[in-house]
A and B are shown apart, each in its own frame.
Chain A
């Protein structure tokens, strides 16, 4: 099992601001993922990484970007937040896609 940490847990921010959602894990998993989930809707994969310096876009097109400079850290950045970015963002990590452990999530509200 992995310890997955996400900060902040909640964020309310104005349109146009740059934000970074942090995700870190302590178990050295190579694979990490970012999902976006609107209330009552399914999770959509927006980014994933299979290791340091490896990042790929997921199924759902997203204006966010990610980086993977260290194994334990997989931050997601929005250069200019908009109300359409309001959602819950879930980070996950695991040895394989089938065994993902999720972080507590970040609820983002863009005004």
Chain B
């Protein structure tokens, strides 16, 4: 059965800390892995990863995919209170379906 598992489920850190969020998957006909940030309402797109070993970077956020070990990590350096959100991992398969993980709830305290 296809599945996407994120860990940890929740995380509390202080401003300035660095965090690593994990996403592992088992999906038939893997096509891509996406990271989203969900604050109060709808998810907003962060990264799309399709190739192993190539880091995607946007400011303090970065992500990398390992297609051999079937996981991805999302790193956030020098965290700020505005980074507090639920971070969702989603995997797209060859059927053009996307399967979402349950998310990691990150809380950044001042």
Chain B interface size range: 20 to 34
Task: Assess whether B45 is in contact with A101, with CB atoms less than 8 Å apart.
Answer: yes
| Consensus secondary structure, chain B interface | strand
B107 CB, nearest partner CB in chain A, Å: 14
A55 adjacent to chain B (CB < 8 Å): no
CB contacts under 8 Å to B, within A81-111, are 90, 96-105
| Consensus secondary structure, chain A interface | loop
Across the interface, A105 reaches (CB within 8 A) one of B32, B41, B97, namely B41
As a 0/1 sequence over residues 49 to 90 of chain B, the CB contacts with chain A under 8 angstroms (1 = contact) are 000000000000000000000000000000000000000101
7 nearest A-B residue pairs (beta carbon): A102-B42, A43-B100, A42-B100, A42-B102, A98-B32, A97-B96, A104-B41
- The residues of B with any CB-CB pair to A shorter than 8 Å are 4, 31-32, 34, 41-45, 48, 88, 90, 92, 96-103, 105
